[in-house]
């Protein structure tokens, strides 16, 4: 059974700070990794994908991948109250996407 682990949180940060969200995965052969944002009661929204070791930046979001350590992270710079949500890490297998349980982020004004 492939596992994707995330700290459930909540992670609390003040407005304007950097939020750092972490994810580890068990399948060393995994090649594709995704971050989703989910507001309470809403459907998940894909915000980042990463396939290669290193950093990938998109606006205020940076995804980081370290395959040797089986570790994926998401940094959110200049955090805003509207970023308050649950962030889901997902790892692609051959024909399925396995999600972590998510980390709740709370950004206080």
Partner 1 sequence: EAQVTQNPRYLITVTGKKLTVTCSQNMNHEYMSWYRQDPGLGLRQIYYSMNVEVTDKGDVPEGYKVSRKEKRNFPLILESPSPNQTSLYFCASSLSLADLRFFGPGTRLTVL
85 is an interface residue for partner 1 by CB under 8 A: no
Token pair of 45 as six digits? 């929204």
101 is an interface residue for partner 1 by CB under 8 A: yes
Are 107 and 15 within 8 A, CB to CB? Answer: yes
| CA distances in angstroms from 59 to 1, 42, 77, 98, listed in the order given | 34, 23, 9, 26
22 is an interface residue for partner 1 by CB under 8 A: no
70 is an interface residue for partner 1 by CB under 8 A: no
Give the three-state DSSP class for 81: helix
CB of 78 to partner 1, least distance (A): 24
CB of 27 to partner 1, least distance (A): 14
| CA distances in angstroms from 84 to 20, 25, 50, 68, 107, listed in the order given | 13, 24, 22, 30, 5
Nearer to partner 1, 1 or 82 (CB): 1
Q: Near partner 1 by CB under 8 A, which window of 21-29, 52-60, 77-85, 94-102?
A: 94-102
Binding-residue total with partner 1 (CB under 8 A): 22
- For residues 27-56, which are near partner 1 according to CB under 8 A? 32, 34, 41-46, 49
Nearer to partner 1, 33 or 73 (CB): 33
Residues 6+ apart with CB under 8 A from 5: 23, 24, 25, 26, 100
């Amino acid at each position: 059974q492939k596992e994707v682990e995330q700290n459930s949180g909540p992670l609390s940060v003040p407005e304007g700070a950097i939020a750092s969200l972490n994810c580890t995965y068990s399948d060393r052969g995994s090649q594709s990794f995704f971050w989703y944002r989910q507001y309470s009661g809403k459907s998940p929204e894909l915000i980042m994908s990463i396939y290669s070791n290193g950093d990938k930046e998109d606006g205020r979001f940076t995804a980081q991948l370290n395959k040797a350590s089986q570790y994926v992270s998401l940094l959110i710079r200049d955090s805003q109250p509207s970023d308050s949500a649950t962030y889901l890490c997902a790892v692609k297998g051959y024909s399925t996407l396995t999600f972590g349980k998510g980390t709740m982020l709370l950004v206080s004004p």
